[in-house]
Structure 1
Amino acid sequence: MFIKALVPAAAYLVGISIAQSSSLCSQPTATINSQADASALASCSVVNGNIVIGPLAAGVISIDGPQQLNGNLNCENAGGLTSLGSTTINSISGAFTLKNLTLLSTLAMGSLKSVNAINWEALPALSQLNFPATVTKAKSVLISNTFLSTLDGINLETVQTLGINNNNRLKTFSTQIANVTSSLDINSNGNNLDVSFPNLVRAANMTFRNVSTVSIPSLAIVDGSLGFYGNYVPSIIAPNITSVGSKADGQGSLAFVANTKLTNISMPLLKTVGGAVQIANNLALSGINFPSLSYVGGAIDFSGNFSTPELPALENVKGGFNLQSTSSIDCSNFDSEHGAGKVIQGVYVCKTTSDAAGLGSGTNGNSGSKKSSASTNQYNKITHCIFILAGLAYSFL
């Protein structure tokens, strides 16, 4: 009799335990403020909900047990947290967000391979990642203001948005990404940052700032804009790129601005740029050569200290043409190509000038005639403004 009575009671208790466990694994938000809270999830192989590590969490938090998180993993303003990890979580369907964690020095996700979005900001003590399984899938990645020197452990195949900025110790970033479908922005990291995208074939928009080397050997198409601003690269080589931007809507620019050590730009196959092409204030750049460039949907704006640019294939410039150099240049070939029905359709300026910005006194590269400093300054300011406005107008047509 006793045994017969005990069996239903035991079954009842097991049922309660299973129900409680199921409820714990499926609650909308599981909040973790201690290791005990994290250990309560150990029986869950799948967590259907968000995991939030609260601001009271401190020391070491390890979320072991769950393999799949159908939700977000979020930790913000936990000033006492020093270590966060999981040996079991392999996928996060939502965002993995870490913000304002001043003492976090260890981030160890031993099995993580897939996450929808990575948002890491203000992690001043985090010097490295321990991601041995390697994250290969993510739609969006933002890593900003960390102490990381490398991003080993993140090696994506494709991504919509990738932003790496203000990581002052970051020295290398190499990834197998083949396609960036929205934007890539590498900005204001360490001055010695080497960036490598060996497999990148296509990107929507790309911006590089404050990097020492950029390797894009496979890049063939940029659907939007491609810009290099304030870098320390000696050379920018894209041997396979054929187009930047869209001819259909006149959008997508190509820019090289204020790269102080740049001596070489090599894009031998580049044929079309949907918007503008700008090369300005690259102090060490003495030559410009785009042997295949035939179409520019916006304006061409070159200023600096370089010899006569080589644009032998140029057939159609929808916008203006502003060519000003402090070195002697020959404008004769370009002089004959501007006007109604000709190659250059917008405002035309071509001259040797004493001011690389094109706003000081100078001489016309074709005739060599001199003008007074005052009149030339006024003329240059007016033409420069007209040129910019014309270029913008053409780019939006």
Structure 2
Amino acid sequence: MFAQKLIIPALAVVSCVAAQTASVCSQATATINSQADATAFASCSTISGSIVVSSAASGVISIDGPQQITGDFTCENAGGLTSLGSTTLGSIGGSFTLNNLTLLSTLSMTDLTSVKTIAWTALPALSSLTFPSTVSSATSVTISNTFLSTLDGINLDTVATLQIDNNNRLKTFSTQVANITSAVNINSNGNSLEVSFPNLIWAANMTLRNVSSINIPSLATVNGSLGFYGNYMTNIAAPNLTSVGSTATGQGSLAFVANAKLANISMPMLATVGGADQIANNTDLTGISFPALSIVGGAIDFSGNFSTPSLPALTNVKGGFNIQSTATIDCTSFQAEAGSGKVIQGTYICKTTADATTLGSSTTTGSSSGASSTSSKGAAVSYGVNEAVAGISVLGGLLSMLL
């Protein structure tokens, strides 16, 4: 009887502790103001909800114990926070959001491999990541306005959206990703940024600006648009690329605009471009060759200082055809292909000109707007995240680059 009297209160205490632990681990949103608050989660293997590190947090916050957060992990406007991390957390089921953390210099997640969304902005003191297990799974990644010089620790298998912009110290970015299902936008990072997608086979849309080199040896298909604007590389090679956009819809364009050092474009297997094929204001580009290009659903619009373009496989240009070069070019073969029912179905212009700094928006309105009874839809030009008409001027392209 005496033992029973002791056991019953003991069981009550255990039950109470278990209930308190369950309550701590399963809050819809738990707020961490200090390291003491973070330590309260030490007994949780899973946090069934979201964690918010409040703006009042400062110094070092380490959330050790939990292996999984089913919801979001958010930290914003914590101006006194210097270090954030976990030695046990392996996955975040929602968004991992860091924003406006002016003193954060250490971000250490030693076991983290899976996140639904990474959204990091305004981290001016964060120079590197400590992610030794490497994040390989994420559907969306946005990293903007940080002090990061490398993104080592993030190496994705697949991703929907990848946006890397305004990271002025970033020198390299390489990922094993094979498929990008929505968009890539790499823009306004360090001038010497080297980008590598060694295993990328398929992408929906890709836009690159201010990049010093690009490695896409396996890329075979871009379902939307592929655009290179204001970059610093001397060579763009896509040896396995066969198609950009859809010729069935006339959407998805290929653009090379204002790449001052670009001297060579090598896409030997490219056969179709759904929208426009645009080359403009690449001052070092003296030759243009697309040996396998057969069908262009929009317009061909080339402007610069290059010799006669080589397009030997061309069978159908549904939009206009505007080639203007300050170098002497021979338009004889292209002239023979122009006209209703022939290869070039839209407005045709091909000439040597004293000024090829514009893409003929004032002289090739018909071509630019796709004024062809065969395909008015060929007028629509999509450059990654931008929509423009096929015959837009280089000034327009440059303005787009700066936006």
- With the shorter chain as reference, the TM-score category is over 0.9
Asked if 2 retains the 8 angstrom alpha-carbon contact of 1:251 and 1:396, the reply is no
Give the counterpart letter for 2:70 in structure 1. Answer: N
Q: CA deviation at 1:388?
A: 1.9
Q: Counterpart of 2:377 in 1: which secondary structure?
A: helix
Quick one: structure 1 residues 42 and 381, their matched pair in 2 at CA, closer, same or farther if it must change by over 3 Å? closer
Q: Distance in 1 between matches of 2:362 and 2:247?
A: 29
TM (norm. structure 2) is 0.92
Q: Distance in 2 between matches of 1:323 and 1:344?
A: 12
Deviates more, 1:346-355 or 1:380-389: 380-389
Q: CA deviation at 1:358?
A: 4.2
Aligned equivalent of 2:241: 241
Asked if 2 retains the 8 angstrom alpha-carbon contact of 1:69 and 1:93, the reply is yes
Bigger RCO of structures 1 and 2 (CA < 8 A, at least 6 apart): 2
Residue 53, structure 1, aligned to residue 53, structure 2: yes
Q: Counterpart of 1:155 in 2: which secondary structure?
A: strand
TM (norm. structure 1) is 0.93
Please list every run of 5 or more consecutive structure 1 residues that lacks an aligned counterpart in the other structure.
Answer: 360-379
Q: Counterpart of 1:307 in 2: which secondary structure?
A: coil
Give the counterpart letter for 2:264 in structure 1. Answer: N
String of CA shifts for 1:46-75, please: whole Å, max 9, x gaps. 000000000000000000000011000000
Q: How does 1:286-301 map to 2 (within 5 A)?
A: 286-301=286-301
Q: Distance in 2 between matches of 1:270 and 1:348?
A: 23
Residue 115, structure 1, aligned to residue 115, structure 2: yes
Quick one: structure 1 residues 126 and 358, their matched pair in 2 at CA, closer, same or farther if it must change by over 3 Å? closer
String of CA shifts for 1:204-244, please: whole Å, max 9, x gaps. 00000000000000000000000000000000000000000
Identity value in percent? 67
String of CA shifts for 1:182-203, please: whole Å, max 9, x gaps. 1011100000000000000000
Q: Counterpart of 2:287 in 1: which secondary structure?
A: coil
Q: Distance in 2 between matches of 1:173 and 1:160?
A: 17
Aligned equivalent of 1:373: none
Give the counterpart letter for 2:249 in structure 1. Answer: D
Q: CA deviation at 1:389?
A: 1.9
Q: CA deviation at 1:383?
A: 1.8
Please list every run of 5 or more consecutive structure 2 residues that lacks an aligned counterpart in the other structure.
Answer: 381-403
Aligned equivalent of 2:401: none
Give the counterpart letter for 1:282 in structure 2. Answer: N
Asked if 1 retains the 8 angstrom alpha-carbon contact of 2:347 and 2:364, the reply is no
Aligned equivalent of 1:388: 368
Count of residue pairs brought into register by the alignment: 377
Q: CA deviation at 1:382?
A: 3.7
Q: Distance in 2 between matches of 1:288 and 1:210?
A: 22
Asked if 2 retains the 8 angstrom alpha-carbon contact of 1:91 and 1:114, the reply is yes
Aligned equivalent of 1:135: 135
Q: Distance in 2 between matches of 1:320 and 1:384?
A: 8
Q: How does 1:174-323 map to 2 (within 5 A)?
A: 174-323=174-323
Residue 324, structure 1, aligned to residue 324, structure 2: yes
Q: Distance in 2 between matches of 1:340 and 1:198?
A: 43
Aligned equivalent of 2:102: 102
Asked if 1 retains the 8 angstrom alpha-carbon contact of 2:306 and 2:327, the reply is yes
Residue 161, structure 1, aligned to residue 161, structure 2: yes
String of CA shifts for 1:346-384, please: whole Å, max 9, x gaps. 01111111112247xxxxxxxxxxxxxxxxxxxx66423
Q: Distance in 2 between matches of 1:394 and 1:68?
A: 49
Aligned equivalent of 1:377: none
| Structure of greater Rg | 1
CA RMSD of aligned residues (A): 1.3
Q: Distance in 1 between matches of 2:357 and 2:318?
A: 23
Q: Distance in 1 between matches of 2:242 and 2:158?
A: 21
Q: Distance in 1 between matches of 2:379 and 2:181?
A: 23
Q: Counterpart of 2:231 in 1: which secondary structure?
A: coil
Q: Counterpart of 2:369 in 1: which secondary structure?
A: helix
Q: Counterpart of 1:12 in 2: which secondary structure?
A: helix
Q: Counterpart of 1:156 in 2: which secondary structure?
A: strand
Q: CA deviation at 1:10?
A: 1.1
Q: CA deviation at 1:5?
A: 1.8
